[in-house]
Amino acid sequence: MENPLLAAFDTKFELPPFKKIQSDHYVIAIEKALNEAKDEIAKIIKNSEKPTFTNTIEALEKSGEKLQRNSSILFNLNSAETSDELQKIAQEISPKLAAFNSEVKQNEKLFERVKEIFRQKESLDLSGEQKKLLHDTYFDFVRRGVELEGSKKERFKEISIALSKLSLKFSENALAESNAFEMVITNETDLAGLPDDVKGRAKELAMQKGNENTWIFTLQAPSYIPFMEYADNRSLREEMYKAYMTKCFKGDDRDNQEVILKTIRLKAELASLLGYKTFAHYVLEQRMAESPDKVRTFLDDLLRKSLPKAKEEVEEIKEFIKSEGEDIELQRWDWSYYSEKLRKEKYALDDELVKPYFKLENVIAGVFTTAEKLYGISFRPNDDLEVYHEDVKAYEVLNESGDVVSVFLADFFPREGKRDGAWMTSYRSQRYDGNSRVIPQVSIVCNFTPSSSTHPSLLKFNEVKTLFHEFGHALHGMLADTHYQSLSGTSVYWDFVELPSQIMENWCYEKECLDLFARHYETGELIPEDLIDRIKKSSTYHEAFATVRQLSFGLLDMAWHSLTLEEANATSDVSDFEENAFSSTDLFPKVEGTNMSVQFSHIFAGGYAAGYYSYKWAEVLDADAFSLFKERGVFDRQTATAFKEHILSKGGTEHPMTLYKKFRGQEPTPDALLKRAGLV
């Protein structure tokens, strides 16, 4: 079969021809694209003309287009629809890409051309976006080690390659561990407390695996979370919890402890080579937060305000357990179970009461209508568009004039080949080719509760929020309108990237929004107003505990990435290190043999290293921004248009605080967040 990755895509909207792509196509196509990219770089270097913005900066921006296209397909599918074969290919390709990036960014002749233009930046007639591209290009070379000498430059390249391999290894181990565990229940009495739809899916999974008269539960979120919330059998909850929290921590070939230690030592060494005290200093130089000290001050301030209330919430659960006539010590596998029971008692509310109003198809229609009312876009399903799995739904995104502004792919259900969690990604970012806007190809990938033979896919309220969250990221990509791809959509400072996603969650609590889609899947009844009120009132239920939990992850991340080279080399025990990092936030007895770091994919296999704090940082932004919508109306088109023009469409073309102030008229304050969280 002809290799489809070698040619221009002849599909509608130039989507990847997923159905034609075979695993053995990737290596050949990416290596050929790699050689083409090298030729394009060589042409820039050998250009005898005086360096200009066009022949150097823009030429660099446009180089490697096919390489980026093909590698994005590989790595996106390695997360969403992987296999052993695809993982091996990713392991083979990843270091080659890392080596190429280092070669380009460490090329002194190329940097001389960039530097010459950078020196003249004030005298050149450049637009604001062009100035930002020039600034980013110049400092990308510096931060990739172009000014290092001799062996240091070669060492930087070696570290970059090694880190790319370790990141993939970490992710592969975590996925394999998640897939390896199954709890097979043979006694129906052990299912006590579990909702019928949860039991139904467990039964169907068992039957698919040829296990008659049994129920199978896994570590995938739609199975694990309701089990921990509803299963009356405490010993089984303990078994599930320990299975989840011992992933990659068993001393076998899927153990991630050594991967972590190698990673943090290499990151510390990389930062040291460039003259930074720690990897966190290196990363945060290009963040709104600017420095580790500012991040720690931010996290510590929130911790100081939330920890006392979180401790009260834990004590409240302990008292509730006593009132239930039970004499047990509160453990981690008890928290979700008793928290859910108390929530039902306090607010006459639980997920089983809410889920019938959140049929997945209705929620999808609701988030589409929300986007239409805010930003004037609509979504047209197109089953003829190329997708990579039968579960994936494809849509054309149209503006009010009927023009297609983006392609949107939605992948909602768990599979063995899909990693945990939820994320947004792109197969192609938006840019301009001359005066023509090249439309983005945006995808969201989730792991929602699937349908069963007795129930459609009914979402928990947290899953509804997750869909709105990831859709916010998708809007950032779909509504992008920048000239250059590297500044488009979500290509922004990492502690700004969560603003578009987190602000979208706010609409889930608004009656005006819920009335658009929240209807009972059997009766068609609109969600009752008193139920909306209970959802709102319960929104701050155990919010302090949730805040402390999130802060603990941010502090753990900063602890790992704030090690000097000497400290990193001296660190040898992942468990002890984590225990120390968690000491100020721990609210439960320690559970021996469990560990968070070894499965913390955000920071060891994703883009959140020294950046996990950004979720809370962006909450300050989103609460402050949404307060303007609350003031003017949650569907006020003028406010939405300003958010679209100054935030969603602008990508990384300006400093994020500049963009935020253009929208809001002022810098954000934490007041709205603290009020929303019930902490003031």
Query: Could you read off the pLDDT of 246-298 as tens digits, one per residue?
Result: 999 999 999 999 999 999 999 999 999 999 999 999 999 999 999 999 999 99
SS (H, E, C) 605-662: CCCCCCCCCHHHHHHHHHHHHHHHHHHHCCCCHHHHHHHHHHHHCCCCCCCHHHHHHH
Q: Six-digit token pair at 362?
A: 């209705």
Query: Could you read off the pLDDT of 621-633 as tens digits, one per residue?
Result: 999 999 999 999 9
Query: Could you read off the pLDDT of 212-225 as tens digits, one per residue?
Result: 899 999 999 999 99
More confident residue, 508 or 678: 508
Nearest residue to 343 (alpha-carbon basis) of 550, 587, 543, 549? 543
Cβ count near 662 (within 10 Å): 14
Q: How far is CA 451 from CA 43, 318, 412, 457, in A?
A: 54, 35, 11, 4
* Contacts for 121 with CB less than 8 Å, ≥ 6 apart: 131, 134, 135
Catalytic residues: 470
Residue 186 has pLDDT above 80, yes or no: yes
* Mean pLDDT confidence for 463-489: 98
* Mean pLDDT confidence for 664-680: 87
Residue 193 has pLDDT above 90, yes or no: yes
Q: Please report the pLDDT score of residue 650 as a whole number.
A: 98
Residue 584 φ/ψ, nearest 5 degrees: -85, -10
Q: Please report the pLDDT score of residue 31 as a whole number.
A: 97
List residues bridging with 380 in a β-sheet.
396
Q: Please report the pLDDT score of residue 387 as a whole number.
A: 97
Q: Please report the pLDDT score of residue 212 as a whole number.
A: 87
Q: Six-digit token pair at 189?
A: 């009495």
Nearest residue to 427 (alpha-carbon basis) of 89, 82, 73, 97? 73
More confident residue, 175 or 669: 175
Q: Please report the pLDDT score of residue 67 as a whole number.
A: 97
**In the chain, what percentage of residues exceed pLDDT 90?**
95
d(CA 59, CA 134): 12
Residue 594 has pLDDT above 90, yes or no: yes
Q: Where in the chain is the domain with CATH 1.20.1050.40?
A: 4-105+107-143
Query: Could you read off the pLDDT of 194-206 as tens digits, one per residue?
Result: 999 999 999 999 9
404-411 sheet: strands from edge to edge = 378-381, 393-398, 404-411, 441-445, 423-428
Residue 233 has pLDDT above 80, yes or no: yes
Q: Please report the pLDDT score of residue 671 as a whole number.
A: 86
Residue 669 has pLDDT above 90, yes or no: no
Query: Could you read off the pLDDT of 28-52 as tens digits, one per residue?
Result: 999 999 999 999 999 999 999 999 9
Residue 320 has pLDDT above 90, yes or no: yes
Q: Six-digit token pair at 585?
A: 């936030």
pLDDT level of residue 680 (50, 70, 90 thresholds): confident
CATH topology classification for 4-105+107-143: Glutathione S-transferase Yfyf (Class Pi); Chain A, domain 2 (1.20.1050)
Mean pLDDT rounded to a whole number for the chain = 96
Contact 64, 38 (CB under 8 A): no
d(CA 50, CA 43): 13
Q: Please report the pLDDT score of residue 679 as a whole number.
A: 82
Q: Please report the pLDDT score of residue 455 as a whole number.
A: 86
Q: Where in the chain is the domain with CATH 1.10.1370.40?
A: 356-543+615-676
pLDDT level of residue 674 (50, 70, 90 thresholds): confident
pLDDT level of residue 678 (50, 70, 90 thresholds): confident
Residue 427 has pLDDT above 80, yes or no: yes
Residue owning tokens 């990739």: 144
d(CA 152, CA 9): 41
Contact 87, 78 (CB under 8 A): yes
Query: Could you read off the pLDDT of 83-119 as tens digits, one per residue?
Result: 999 999 999 999 999 999 999 999 999 999 999 999 9
pLDDT level of residue 538 (50, 70, 90 thresholds): very high
Q: Please report the pLDDT score of residue 386 as a whole number.
A: 95
Contact 510, 374 (CB under 8 A): no
Residue owning tokens 């155990």: 542
Question: What letter represents residue 586's amino acid?
Answer: D
Q: Please report the pLDDT score of residue 548 as a whole number.
A: 97
pLDDT level of residue 675 (50, 70, 90 thresholds): confident
Residue 676 has pLDDT above 90, yes or no: no
Residue 1 has pLDDT above 80, yes or no: no
Residue 453 has pLDDT above 90, yes or no: no
d(CA 588, CA 604): 25
Residue 175 has pLDDT above 90, yes or no: yes
* Mean pLDDT confidence for 120-145: 96
Residue 677 has pLDDT above 90, yes or no: no
pLDDT level of residue 532 (50, 70, 90 thresholds): very high
Query: Could you read off the pLDDT of 289-298 as tens digits, one per residue?
Result: 999 999 999 9
Question: What letter represents residue 527's amino acid?
Answer: I
pLDDT level of residue 151 (50, 70, 90 thresholds): very high
- CATH class of the region 356-543+615-676: mainly alpha
Helices (H), 249-349: 257-273, 279-284, 292-323, 332-347
